[in-house]
Amino acid sequence: MEKLSQKKIDKNATILFDSVGCKLNKYELEIMRAQSETLGMVPLVKQKSGDVVVLNTCSVTNSASADSRRMIRKYRKHNENSYIVVTGCYSQTDIEEVKELGIDLILNNMEKAKFFDIIKEDINDLDDLDLQKQSIMSSVKFQSRPFLKIQDGCDAYCSYCIIPRARGRSRSVDRQEVLDQVKELSTTYPELVITGVNLGQYEDHEDYGLLELLKDMVAIDSVKKLRISSLEPNDLTPEFLNFMVENEKICKHIHLPLQGGEDQLLKDMRRHYTMEEYTEKLRMARELCPDFCLGADIMVGFPTEDDECFEKVKENLLALELDYFHVFTFSARDKTVANNLSQRVDPQVKKQRNRWVSDLSSKRKQAFLKRHIGKTFDAVVERSGKTTGFMKALTDNYIPVIFETTEDLALKFVKVRIDEVGTDKVFGTLIKIQNKEI
Ligand code: SF4
């Protein structure tokens, strides 16, 4: 923590939050928002100014750092007298730059969790407030599926990634704390998304890793569905896959980041698997459960991805049984190994490659959706503010289905049948509401 001004916060101050970067950053902002409410502050939504402004930054690429810088400058300009807190990866990797931006407090990634205790010191006349520290999790207002963060940091050091430096070594939340949160959240939410920077590195003492934790989670009666946000390929072992397939509380959706679509590229990226190994994981998953939704992150434009290499990437991607790709374009990041490589891919070429993979992804997604017409799946109805009419449910295998209902089904666990696939929407019929036949 670094305090850069003597500014204080009035009781019942308004507070607004903004972030750049990954889902974890958004999740952490939700937690801080909940903590600010317990301090008597008034969180604002979609406003440009507040008495306190909390900005969660990212530095995964140089352009993410630039976006973070722009965000801080913009809020400082429109909030001359506000108390501005900056946290997140950019404030950790480039702290000296952040200090120059005229803000009031810097919190590192570890300190976000202590937001309540740190900020409370700067609120005037706080004695009058009822500071009964209620459960932070219970007051977090998640849309439909809470993200439950069980791990932070990473020990992998992929050559293009700043995260191990920005978020530090892997650290796991104590298993009892996780299980208590799961118990609490699952009484309201039928689906929880289990998340972390590198989930496979979860560890609570020897011999208790992610698989053991998931087994304890599914044993909790109130838990209906758990979605694993993402898993590194080497962590999808046959044992793990069998557990996913056999346990009906685990969503049939695997996001398995591939990143480089060719063996030498994978080596240059310091990803520790080959295309053959990756392909075999997908094959096993598909064989054990044909309805699995299988997705991956792909990075294009890595410095050593020359034209010949990209031709092989195309060939390899076409052969993979993936249902969607999240495409990222490489952008150099200071303080990473990849930044020191002498080669560079032309920005226009990077754009074309990104388009090629995105187009392939759209085709795969359509094919995946069409393959499931006529089938019925478990799904969770989203909370959208509407109570009847057309509502949206997300199936176990990641298909957003629109259906009509006369009952308020927000956050209900249902079964839906997929009837029709449009260009960007899927329509279906409600078959069952929890234990009630229709
Ligand atoms: S696994 Fe690699 S890409 Fe993912 S956070 Fe760790 S270092 Fe970064």
Count Cα atoms within 13 angstroms, Cβ side, for 161: 19
Best mutation site among 93, 157, 198, 299 for ligand 1 pocket (most ligand atoms within 8 Å of CB): 198
Q: Do 354 and 383 belong to one domain?
A: no
Q: Report whether residue 164 contacts ligand 1, using a CB cutoff of 6 Å.
A: yes
pLDDT class for 331, splitting at 50, 70, 90? confident
What's residue 33's pLDDT? 85
What is the atom index within ligand 1 of the atom nearest the CA of 271?
Answer: 2
Q: Do 124 and 207 belong to one domain?
A: no
Q: What is the CATH number of the domain that holds 399?
A: 2.40.50.140
Q: Do 397 and 289 belong to one domain?
A: no
Q: Report whether residue 198 contacts ligand 1, using a CB cutoff of 6 Å.
A: yes
Structural domain range at position 99: 2-128
Which residues lie below 8 Å from residue 252, measured CB to CB, with a gap of 6+?
A: 244, 245, 289, 291, 292, 293, 396, 397
Question: Cα dihedral angle (330, 336, 342, 347), rounded to 10 degrees?
Answer: 20
Report the separation in Å between the CA atom of 154 and the middle of ligand 1, taken as the mean of its atom positions: 6
Q: Do 227 and 325 belong to one domain?
A: yes
What's residue 133's pLDDT? 43
pLDDT (mean) for 6-32: 86
Q: Report whether residue 25 contacts ligand 1, using a CB cutoff of 6 Å.
A: no
By alpha-carbon position, which residue is closest to atom 1 of ligand 1? Answer: 156
Q: With both helix axes pointing from N to C terminus, report the angle between 347-371 and 307-319 in degrees, rounded to the nearest 10.
A: 10
Report the separation in Å between the CA atom of 315 and the middle of ligand 1, taken as the mean of its atom positions: 25
Integer-rounded Cα radius of gyration of the chain: 23
* pLDDT reading at 386 higher than 90: no
Q: Do 182 and 120 belong to one domain?
A: no
* pLDDT reading at 251 higher than 80: yes
> Considering the chain, what percentage of its residues have pLDDT values greater than 70?
96
pLDDT class for 147, splitting at 50, 70, 90? confident
Per the structure, the count of domains in the chain is 3
* pLDDT reading at 40 higher than 90: no
Return the sign of the alpha-carbon dihedral for residues 227, 16, 1, 181. negative
* pLDDT reading at 137 higher than 50: no
Vertex 208, ends 207 and 211: CA angle to 5°?
Answer: 115
Which residues lie below 8 Å from residue 198, measured CB to CB, with a gap of 6+?
A: 151, 153, 154, 155, 156, 170, 232
Least confident of 96-110, 128-142, 217-231, 292-306: 128-142
Q: Do 21 and 111 belong to one domain?
A: yes
What's residue 127's pLDDT? 62
Domain boundary pick from 128, 154, 170: 128
What is the atom index within ligand 1 of the atom nearest the CA of 167?
Answer: 5
By alpha-carbon position, which residue is closest to atom 4 of ligand 1? Answer: 198
Q: Do 223 and 101 belong to one domain?
A: no
Best mutation site among 165, 197, 273 for ligand 1 pocket (most ligand atoms within 8 Å of CB): 197
What's residue 296's pLDDT? 97
Report the separation in Å between the CA atom of 60 and the middle of ligand 1, taken as the mean of its atom positions: 10
What is the atom index within ligand 1 of the atom nearest the CA of 157?
Answer: 7
| pLDDT tens-place string over residues 158-207 | 999 988 888 889 999 999 999 999 999 999 999 999 999 999 999 998 89
Report the separation in Å between the CA atom of 266 and the middle of ligand 1, taken as the mean of its atom positions: 13
Q: What is the CATH number of the domain that holds 40?
A: 3.40.50.360
Domain boundary pick from 318, 350, 371: 371
CA dist 40 → 9, 36, 129, 135, 327 (Å): 11, 7, 7, 15, 41
What's residue 126's pLDDT? 67
Q: Report whether residue 156 contacts ligand 1, using a CB cutoff of 6 Å.
A: yes
Q: Do 187 and 108 belong to one domain?
A: no
Q: What is the CATH number of the domain that holds 201?
A: 3.80.30.20
**Cβ-count burial 289-307 (b if 16+ within 10 Å, e if not):** bebbbbbbebbbbbbbbee
Rounded Cα distance, 59 and 100, in Å = 17
Q: Report whether residue 157 contacts ligand 1, using a CB cutoff of 6 Å.
A: yes
Query: Which pTM value belongs to this model?
Result: 0.83
Report the separation in Å between the CA atom of 331 and the middle of ligand 1, taken as the mean of its atom positions: 15
Q: Do 342 and 381 belong to one domain?
A: no
Report the separation in Å between the CA atom of 19 and the middle of ligand 1, taken as the mean of its atom positions: 20
Q: Do 365 and 381 belong to one domain?
A: no
Q: Do 259 and 339 belong to one domain?
A: yes
Residues forming beta bridges with residue 426, ordered by sequence position? 401, 421
Q: Give the Cβ contact number of residue 78 at 10 Å.
A: 12
pLDDT class for 134, splitting at 50, 70, 90? very low
* pLDDT reading at 437 higher than 90: no
As a residue count, the chain comes to 438
What's residue 35's pLDDT? 82
First to last CA, the chain: 55
Indicate the pairing of strand 42-43 with strand 14-19: parallel
pLDDT (mean) for 332-345: 91
What's residue 138's pLDDT? 44
Q: Do 54 and 146 belong to one domain?
A: no
Rounded Cα distance, 331 and 302, in Å = 8
Q: Report whether residue 154 contacts ligand 1, using a CB cutoff of 6 Å.
A: yes
Burial tier of 342 (Cβ tally within 10 Å: 0-12, 13-18, 19+):
exposed
Least confident of 34-38, 52-56, 104-108: 34-38
Q: Report whether residue 41 contacts ligand 1, using a CB cutoff of 6 Å.
A: no
